[in-house]
Amino acid sequence: MCEFRTLPGRGPFHFVCVPGVVPDGPETFLRQQSLLRRFGPVTVLTYPYDSFSVDEVLAHIRAAIERARADGRQPVLMGVSVGAGICLELLRRARDQGQPIDLAALLLISPFTCTADLAPLLARLVGGIEQEVDRSDGGRPDQALERGRAFFRSLASKSLTAKPVVTGWRSFFTLLTPQGFAEWGEARIRARIERTLAAITSQGGVARVLALRQLGGLDQNARATKPLTEVPTLILWGSKERHTLTMDGPGTRILSRPDLASRHFPDVEVQWVYTQDGEEVPHASLLKNAPDFNRHLRHFLKRRARTYGLLPRMALLARAAIPLALLPALRGS
């Protein structure tokens, strides 16, 4: 069963956050939580480790949205990578069933819509897992598992900068520097991600990979003229998606262009994310490049909050009391 963790927040919204296949939700959105909580409570989804059912996940997400509205908040749906594809699947099914979901906004980060969006290397890896599982003799699930872990680790590697942490007596003095404290924090998050990868069972790992082909992607037929939702939508792309997604895919090609994306989301904003120095940003790197993604999220959410006559108060006094060594770890918020 999916697990949800809800953090309190002030503001008109309630964020329902859907992660990719890895890392888990709490790690994926770790450096967005303080920003989002200025605009309202945050509910983060974690998938089960021993199974994966798209139908079950969609039902849980919809229930979380309904709970948020019942509490008097305006639901904002946020999906990252495969999680964005799951959000699209939820909206498509709801539209086709004549039961559209009432949202205040939609946030899609590096959206994966279907397996045809994957970059060639990852597409071959996923295809090999699918072929192994689909074999008439049952295949080699152990090999499929290891390929699955390689796939998950490849996705997770985009999240953090791989830098060694100084150990021994030098580590104490390193923690007193902004860079050293940041690297220590990265190591802790990396360890949490590795524990998640180790906790995913063979059955659960293969199920997560197989779930990718259940995502139908964007409409390519007559329904393509019927929007998935008309709520304000923000789509953020890493400027270096090519190692994970091909931007010529059936979904990425459309969602990366405002003129095409507007057929599915009439009120859409599409942004390519770079660092402040103009460097490229990898796929869904909300941890490693939190300040760069958060800058766009903050501007979008401020505009949305104004429509409800409310802007969150920033905790300036609290920040003033934070030791300088802690600031690099919090700049993503």
Compute the Cα dihedral for 280, 285, 288, 291 and give only its sign: positive
Least confident among 18-22, 159-163, 174-178 = 174-178
The answer to whether position 84 is within a domain reads yes
Question: Is residue 263 pLDDT above 80, yes or no?
Answer: yes
Domain with 25 in it: 3-119+212-330
The answer to whether position 183 is within a domain reads no
Query: Rounded distance, CA 79 to CA 76, Å?
Result: 10
Taking only the tens place, the pLDDT of each residue in 115-144 is: 999 999 888 888 888 888 787 776 675 566
Question: Is residue 302 pLDDT above 70, yes or no?
Answer: yes
Taking only the tens place, the pLDDT of each residue in 67-125 is: 999 999 999 999 999 999 999 999 999 999 999 999 999 999 999 999 999 999 888 88
Q: Domain containing 303 — which CATH number?
A: 3.40.50.1820
Short-list 185, 275, 195, 188, CA closest to 238: 275
The answer to whether position 99 is within a domain reads yes
CA dihedral 319, 320, 326, 330 (to 10 degrees): 30
The answer to whether position 23 is within a domain reads yes
The answer to whether position 192 is within a domain reads no
pLDDT for the residue 160:
56
Taking only the tens place, the pLDDT of each residue in 220-232 is: 766 677 899 999 9
The answer to whether position 190 is within a domain reads no
Taking only the tens place, the pLDDT of each residue in 182-229 is: 454 567 777 777 787 778 887 888 888 889 989 989 987 666 778 999
Question: By the 8 A CB rule, do 235 and 271 touch?
Answer: yes
Give the model's confidence band at 149: pLDDT under 50 very low, under 70 low, under 90 confident, else very high: low
* Token duo for residue 221: 């037929």
The answer to whether position 180 is within a domain reads no
Give the model's confidence band at 53: pLDDT under 50 very low, under 70 low, under 90 confident, else very high: very high
Task: Say how many domains are in the chain.
Answer: 1
